[in-house]
Structure 1
Amino acid sequence: MGQDFPPLLNDNLLKVATGKKPSRIPIWIMRQAGRYLPEFREMRKTHDFFEILNTPELASEITLQPIRRYDLDAAIIFSDILVIPTALDMDVKMEPGVGPVIKFPFTDPQDAIAKLTPPINFQDKMKGTLEAITLTRNKLEGKVPLLGFAGAPWTLLSYMIEGGGSRTQMKAKSWLYKYPEESTTILSLLANHIKLYLAAQVAAGAQMVQLFESHAEILGPELFTKFSFPFLKSIVEGLPESLKELGLPPVPVVVFAKGAHYALDQLNQIPCNVIGLDWTIKPELARQALPEKVLQGNLDPVALFGDRASIEANVNAMISKFGTQNYICNLGHGIYPETPTDGVQAFIEAVHSIPI
Structure 2
Amino acid sequence: MPDTIPAPTSNAPHPGAAAGSRRDLTGAPFLAAVRRERPSRTPVWFMRQAGRSLPEYRELRKGTEMLAACLTPDLACEITLQPVRRYGVDAAILFSDIVVPLKVAGIGVEIVAGTGPVVAEPVRTAADVAALPTLELEAVAPVAEAVRLLTAELGTGPSGTPLIGFAGAPFTVASYLVEGGPSRNHERTKALMHSDPDTWHALLGHLAGITLTFLRAQIAAGVDAVQLFDSWAGALSEREYRRFVMPHSAAVLAGLADAGVPRIHFGVGTGELLTAMGEAGADVVGVDWRIPLDVATRRIGPDKAVQGNLDPSVLFAGTDVVDAEVRRIVAEGKAAPGHVFNLGHGVLPETDPDMLARVVELVHSL
Q: TM-score range by the shorter chain?
A: over 0.9
Distance 2:334 2:352 in 1: 27
Distance 2:234 2:257 in 1: 28
- Whether 1:315 aligns to 2:320 is no
Listed one character per residue, the Cα deviations across residues 110-146 of structure 1 (whole Å, up to 9, x for unaligned) are: 2223315xx4212x21221111011111111233000
Decide whether the 8 Å contact of 2:238 with 2:276 is kept in 1. Answer: no
Secondary structure, counterpart of 2:172 in structure 1:
helix
Q: 1:221 to 1:4 in 2, by over 3 A?
A: closer
- Whether 1:341 aligns to 2:353 is yes
Aligned ranges 1:214-293 → 2 under 5 Å: 214-240=231-257, 243=259, 250-289=260-299, 290-293=301-304
Partner residue of 2:81 out of 39, 44, 64: 64
Partner residue of 1:40 out of 57, 80, 88: 57
Task: Structure 2 unaligned segments of length 5 or more: list them.
Answer: 1-16
After the TM superposition, list the runs of 4 or more consecutive aligned residues in structure 1 that deviate by more than 6 angstroms. Answer: none
Aligned ranges 1:52-91 → 2 under 5 Å: 52-91=69-108
Distance 2:45 2:144 in 1: 21
Q: 2:141 — aligned with what?
A: 127
Distance 1:97 1:86 in 2: 19
Aligned ranges 1:166-245 → 2 under 5 Å: 166-240=183-257, 243=259
Listed one character per residue, the Cα deviations across residues 317-349 of structure 1 (whole Å, up to 9, x for unaligned) are: 122222175111000011111111121112111
Give RMSD over aligned pairs.
1.7
Shift of 1:4: 5.4
- Whether 1:159 aligns to 2:159 is no
Q: 2:340 — aligned with what?
A: 328
The amino acid across from 1:236 in the alignment is L
* Deviation larger for 309-318 or 8-17: 8-17
Distance 2:189 2:303 in 1: 34
The amino acid across from 1:277 in the alignment is V
Q: 1:115 — aligned with what?
A: 132
Shift of 1:164: 1.4
Task: Structure 1 unaligned segments of length 5 or more: list them.
Answer: 244-249
Listed one character per residue, the Cα deviations across residues 187-222 of structure 1 (whole Å, up to 9, x for unaligned) are: 112112212321111101111000001101111122
The amino acid across from 1:113 in the alignment is A
Distance 1:188 1:9 in 2: 36
Decide whether the 8 Å contact of 1:10 with 1:145 is kept in 2. Answer: no
Q: How does the TM-score come out when normalised to structure 1? A: 0.92
Decide whether the 8 Å contact of 1:152 with 1:212 is kept in 2. Answer: yes
Distance 2:341 2:257 in 1: 26
Secondary structure, counterpart of 1:228 in structure 2:
helix
The amino acid across from 1:40 in the alignment is Y
Partner residue of 1:145 out of 157, 162, 168: 162
The amino acid across from 1:339 in the alignment is T
Distance 1:286 1:216 in 2: 16
* Deviation larger for 74-83 or 138-147: 138-147
Decide whether the 8 Å contact of 1:33 with 1:63 is kept in 2. Answer: yes
Q: How does the TM-score come out when normalised to structure 2? A: 0.90
Distance 2:23 2:38 in 1: 23
- Identical amino acids, percent of aligned pairs: 37
Decide whether the 8 Å contact of 2:289 with 2:311 is kept in 1. Answer: yes
* Deviation larger for 329-338 or 85-94: 85-94
Shift of 1:5: 6.3
Shift of 1:6: 5.5
Q: 1:284 to 1:157 in 2, by over 3 A?
A: same
- Whether 1:295 aligns to 2:306 is yes
Distance 1:10 1:46 in 2: 40
Distance 1:76 1:346 in 2: 20
Secondary structure, counterpart of 1:259 in structure 2:
coil
Secondary structure, counterpart of 1:268 in structure 2:
helix
Aligned length in residues: 344
Decide whether the 8 Å contact of 1:9 with 1:144 is kept in 2. Answer: no
Distance 1:5 1:179 in 2: 43
The amino acid across from 1:74 in the alignment is A
Distance 1:48 1:266 in 2: 37
Decide whether the 8 Å contact of 1:85 with 1:160 is kept in 2. Answer: no
The amino acid across from 2:360 in the alignment is I
* Deviation larger for 207-216 or 288-297: 288-297
Distance 1:50 1:88 in 2: 13
Shift of 1:103: 2.0
